[in-house]
Structure 1
Amino acid sequence: MKKRMGPYLVTAPALVFLALMALYPLIFLLKISFQDYSPINFENPYVGFDNYATLLADSSFWNSIKVTAIFVVSAVSIELVLGLALALILNQKIKAGKMFQTLIMLPIFMAPTVVGLMFRFMMNEQYGVINYFAEVLGFDRTAWLSDPTLALPALIITDIWQWTPFMIIILLAGLQGISDEPLEAAQIDGATKWQALRYVTIPMLSQVIIIAVLLRTIDAFRLYDSIFMMTQGGPVNVTSTLSWIVFDKGFRFLDFGYGAAIAVVMLIIVLILLTLFLKRFSLFEESGEK
């Protein structure tokens, strides 16, 4: 009995701590999403599904879904392509490859708020270094963060700069775990490098790619720091993502119940994406076993 219960007793304090830190906020979030909750309102009456009904009729909410989808799809797709290309180059054991790997990891170690502030200064229309070099090359200065057509691409560029190295780390580890025998067999059969990449390397790397895309997608949904430092959700809400609108409704307008309802919907969307990714992952595993 002691041997069976020993591991549970040892891990019980940590499990209780995790439950309190994870389950209680989730339950509280669900609770206040059905309330007219505000820190300055002592009654906080239950309103049922009124917050969710308001949410469905709120144009700013639907705009935030569109902005989030554009941001996540664009940023993660480009990061995947760049990450795979650079991982393939680094996997060739080029000279100074280790030093390049170390340097390319530096953006990950920087706080997102620092990165956002840095790009805010770099993209400044008057004294930003990007506009300085653009002017040197003969181009006009660009209002990156105040132009409605460029603000979201500016955020995407910032995210790509910081998180492409994350893709490189995972994909490079996956490439280094692939055996040389299938590639050698493909070369013997006369396959070109592109054919070997398309029909051998990428299929063998598919599970790693799914994991990398899954992790980055979930993280991209939570983007807030860069928006806060660079655009504040503007101009005219073109960078107002789901995470930003949760902050905007909940903490700026002190409508915690409505902000909680948006957060619950955001959680449901992430869970649906997670389920689809895991289903896809299981299909790859089944095909691999066959």
Structure 2
Amino acid sequence: MKNLRLQRGGPYLVMLPGLLLLALFSIYPFLFLVKVSFQKYSPVGENNPYVGLKNYIQLFQDHNFWNALKVTGIFVTSSVVLEFVIGLGLAIILNRIGIGQKWFQSLMLLPIAMAPTVVGLMFRFMMNDQYGVFNYFVEMLGLDRTAWLSNPHLALPALILTDIWQWTPFMMIILLAGLKGIPDEPYEAARIDGASAWQTFRYVTIPQLSRMIVIALLLRTIDAFRIYDTIYMMTKGGPINVTSTLSWIVYDKGFKFLDFGYGAAICVVLLILVVSLLTFLLNKIDVFEVKVKP
């Protein structure tokens, strides 16, 4: 009987350290965050009174929040979609390369190995309007120098370009792994049936790759919502808030103005948005699963 109890309780004992760490570093901070969002909380204040939904009401009346929501939507959609398209193209090319494939893969993965702060600082220098390499090529084309990061129309595209440069290889390596796992039989059947290259890609490659596509999109979307380091190094939310994302205004309100309650409310809303989006994507997995037409 004692051995039977040990056998039944063994898995729970093995899981216990992990559950404790999860509670300590994930569950408790989340509950504390929700609690703070209902307070007028400041680390320098002695009293942190509860204010109910005041932070959330203030949030939805704040034009800076709506601007940050719009900027976040544009940034996440543009960067993730372009990274997926370019990453899929690179994955298909690398999958067909025989000699030197590993060397190409290693070179293309170098941007991921760099810290976002380093990438942001590097692109900040490259886009400098006086000595940046971007303006060197612009002048070679006979155009005038451009202030990439201080121009309200170019700052956000410059930020998106930087993100694409760093994280497209992430998409590429996941999709390449998926392509490597596709068996040859469906391609041979499509070839025998006389399918064109586009038909083979549409009705064989995409359905077989659907799970990896969803995984890549989910992981990259989650990470894109959290962008902060690159913004801090390149634009600091400017000019005139055109690169101010939700993550940036959390820092701005919480750590610059020490209004932790308001910052926590933004975090809760951001979490709800991300979870809702991910739930929507997970429910749409079947959209990618298209059967091969006879």
Q: TM-score, normalised by structure 1?
A: 0.96
2:22 to 18, 24, 28: 18
Offset at residue 11 of structure 1 (A): 2.8
* Percent of aligned positions that are identical: 67
Superposed, which structure 2 residues align to 1:1-290 within 5 Å? Answer: 1-281=5-285
3-state SS of paired residue (1:91): helix
Uncovered stretches (5+) of structure 1, i.e. residues with no partner:
none
Question: What's the CA shift string for 1:11-42, capped at 9, x where partnerless?
Answer: 31222022110011101100010000011111
Distance 2:101 2:287 in 1: 35
Offset at residue 282 of structure 1 (A): 6.0
Offset at residue 285 of structure 1 (A): 7.2
Question: What's the CA shift string for 1:222-275, capped at 9, x where partnerless?
Answer: 000000000000000000001001111111111100000000000000110111
Offset at residue 5 of structure 1 (A): 1.1
Distance 1:52 1:285 in 2: 40
3-state SS of paired residue (2:96): coil
Cα RMSD after superposing both structures:
1.6
Distance 1:160 1:112 in 2: 12
Distance 2:192 2:11 in 1: 53
Distance 1:251 1:79 in 2: 31
Uncovered stretches (5+) of structure 2, i.e. residues with no partner:
none
Distance 2:76 2:108 in 1: 22
Moved beyond 2 Å, runs of 4+: 281-288
Offset at residue 284 of structure 1 (A): 5.9
Q: TM-score, normalised by structure 2?
A: 0.95
Cα 1:233/1:270, change in 2 over 3 Å: same
Aligned residues: 288
Question: What's the CA shift string for 1:75-111, capped at 9, x where partnerless?
Answer: 0000000000010001113321110001000000100
Distance 2:104 2:29 in 1: 42
